[in-house]
Amino acid sequence: MADSLVKVPDVEIDSEGKFKYILVRVKVKGGTDHKDIVRGTKSAEYHNHIFEKVNPALEALGVECSVLGGGKIEHNNTEKKLRVFGESTGYGKADHAVTVEKLKTVFKDYEITME
């Protein structure tokens, strides 16, 4: 995988609470290598606000981004639980199964469910 993709963390979400998230495909500019990443935060009123924050930072690393869909995550770090659900009005529903697999790589000792 290209170095620019290796530098991009698979998951960046808030440490607690219920918030919107997007599933983003990150691709090497002019290439075919890609990976999917999860980004979510309470500070975003709408799903596109997450993309507006993430996209410029990723483009600076030399990669292109496209949103595959969105939803919500409920993060309870006390009980070590993550719940993936819902959809984005603007981007449509993310493939929650892909999101869950990404979350499992970071939150190994968590119970992760999807609806």
> Which parts are annotated binding residues?
20
Binding site as annotated, residues for substrate: 20
The conformation of residue 14, written as its DSSP 8-state character, comes to -
Distances (CA, A) of 98 to 39, 57, 61, 82, 109: 13, 23, 23, 14, 18
96 included as an active-site residue: no
Pairwise CA distance, residues 27 & 30, whole Å: 8
The helices-and-strands tally (H runs, E runs) of the chain is 3, 6
Query: Of residues 34, 47, 49, 96, which has the active-site annotation?
Result: 47
Q: Which residues are catalytic?
A: 47
